[in-house]
Chains A and B, each alone.
Chain A
Amino acid sequence: MKTVLKMERVSPPPLQLAPQPAKQRRVSARGDNAFRWLTFVCSMVVPLVMLAIGADLIISSLPAIKKFGLGFLFSEDWNPVTESFGAASSIFGTLASTCIAMAIAIPLSLAIALFLVELAPPRISRTVGTMIELLAAIPSIIYGMWGLFVFAPFMANYVQPLVGRTLGFLPLFQGPPLGIGMLTAGIILAFMVLPFISAIARDVFQLVPNVVKESAFGMGATTWEVTYKVTIPYGLVGIIGAVFLGLGRALGETMAVTFVIGNAHRIAASLFSPGNTIASTLANEFSEATEPIYVSSLIALGLVLYLITYLVQVVSQIMLRRMYRAWSVGL
């Protein structure tokens, strides 16, 4: 009883709910509305830009599309003098270098994620994780410098002769060891996309509930068995998303590839020979293109790249979104 009385005494006097002046409230509401609209408009700039890029590429490449039609995609011609252009060699090079990159990057980055989550002690895991992430921070052109002046000679002097001697019976690995070419570009691309895939794969591995993993461990499974039979199937959607994210990066990577791929408009069977990609062709020739049809053809190449990466990004976003939503973690 005593305490109740005490509380009554301490409690503040009843609130006097004086009605706010109507004018002031209206102003505040108006400010809020204006602010909300301002932020809304700003948030619509991003999707608008994305769509505008697509529309702009279609409009600017119309002359080339009209002149060459669908044949543009399948013609290997690329001759600014006769003004005959085809995208086949660039598309082939883009896909080939990306395939090499993914073939190397997927096993490496999944293994790195496995190391970071399951094998390394926390302190080492954090340090190594940061270093791998720094690989993604190094600008593309620095990979290009390193690739052209250091890695390509290394490939020409050590790797390619060795591969040529042992696997030279395959047409893939024939020809002079130039250093620059499809294989070198693919390997450097692999190093560049590796941090993107391993960062998400690490998240995926970490998000698998410990109970699930521990029950497998409790059954006597080894780390590898838990990863292969529990973690990977459980997080498959996320891993596919991660791989597609890396794929998108590899497809559009420009400067590093431009430095080391050799820039030849041809489709060669050997991975040792120079080639080109859509991005490298744009980087090399755009500022020198003067004829309108030449520029338009280059932009049409860009449109092809835009469509491919857009598709890949959409798949990646859907997969990642599905994973994070299923595990109710905000992306």
Chain B
Amino acid sequence: MKRRPPTGRRAVNLVVSIWAVGSALMGIAILFWIIFVVVTRGLGAMNLAFFTHLPTPPGILGGGLVNAMIGTLVLTVAATLMAVPLGLLAGVYLAEFSEDSKIADFSRFSANVLMGMPSIIVGVFAYTLVVVPLGKFSGYAGALALAILMLPLVTRTTEDMLRLVPNTLRESALALGAPRWRVTLAIVFRAAKSGLITGVLLAVARVSGETAPLLFTTLNSPFWFHSLGEPIPNLTVTIFDYAMSPYPDWQQKAWGASLLITAGVLVVTLLARFTLREKKL
């Protein structure tokens, strides 16, 4: 048999390897470029007033975004309260009771589809469902949109985490005479606790940076948060409004808000990832 010299093949391999390393470096470079820009520009907006004062009208320097920070927290908490209990229980059914029935399969499939659904579509849904009947923009509509985005995330991670709990644990508890619901809530949930918390944290991180579903549901407001029944000030829509404004002062505030959101989301995501990794090992 004639041996072909491997030079050409080796060269192709080398080119592909360089391309692969280059792509990975580029991905990392983009990540750090974005973080660098957000940190350097955002730090300029940080001062005491930024965290303690209401926004000022355009043209008047100073002021802060404390109302928007509170508003974003309230919206996220409201969405979490709606989505997490529902998602946990849905995950329980899929992991513990479904026995891979067709209808459970459809639920799983829907969760995956809903996860990939553009968030602005969910915003439109909340608009027609809440804003139109009530006749006004409100925090409820925004919280509902965020909850819809959270629900499939919580459901799927709950199912995955519960499936990691060994069956022997369930069987021992059942053998002691505990009913299924107590086995699930007291034994399986406790065994999967860190995984469940991680899943919820990831979902919270994911929706707390969402803007599109709030644009025409919750809107924005320059005042203090009063009730969920009216437009609520929030950081992400503030970033959008301020960034599109011609005032340098407002644009700088948008960078400050961007830094807060990015830092919060990245820290929570990293924390969740590290606990998840320990769990899996």
Interface residues, chain A, with chain B CB atoms under 8 Å away: 28-29, 31-32, 34-36, 38-40, 42-47, 49-53, 56-57, 60, 107-109, 111-112, 114-116, 118-120, 128, 130-135, 137-146, 148-150, 191, 194-195, 198, 220, 222-225, 227, 245, 248-249, 251-255, 258-259, 279, 282-283, 286-287, 298-299, 302, 305-306, 309-310, 312-314, 316-317, 330
Contact = CB atoms under 8 A, between A and B. Distances in A.
A51 B107 CA distance: 11
A164 B16 CA distance: 28
A305 B121 CA distance: 8
Contacts of B22: 111
Contact of A146 (B19, B37, B114, B261): B37
Given A47-B106, A111-B20, A144-B243, 11 more contacts: A42-B86, A50-B117, A60-B128, A134-B31, A140-B209, A141-B261, A145-B38, A145-B239, A146-B38, A223-B17, A252-B120
Contact of A35 (B129, B184, B216): B184
A49 B124 contact: no
Interface in B32-78: 33-34, 37-38, 41
A189 B149 CA distance: 20
B240 A57 contact: no
Nearest to A151: B33
Contacts of B258: 141-142, 145
B211 A139 contact: yes
A282 B127 CA distance: 12
Interface string B233-251: 0001001100100000001
A254 B212 CA distance: 7
A39 B97 contact: yes
A120 to B, nearest CB: 8
Contacts of B243: 144-145, 148-149, 259
A142 B89 contact: no
Interface string B73-101: 00000000000001101111110111000
A166 B119 CA distance: 39
B157 interface: no
Contacts of A28: 179
Given A139-B209, A255-B211, A314-B113, A128 B262 contact: no
Given A279-B212, A282-B120, A43 B90 contact: yes
A302 to B, nearest CB: 5
| Interface size class, chain B | 35 or more
Nearest to B180: A32
Interface string B94-137: 10111000011011011111101111111111011100000000
A53 B117 contact: yes
A112 B113 contact: no
A297 B81 CA distance: 34
Contacts of B9: 222, 225
B273 interface: yes
B121 A252 contact: yes
B117 A224 contact: no
A142 B27 contact: no
Given A283-B212, A286-B216, A287-B216, A224 B121 contact: no
Contacts of B181: 31-32, 34-35
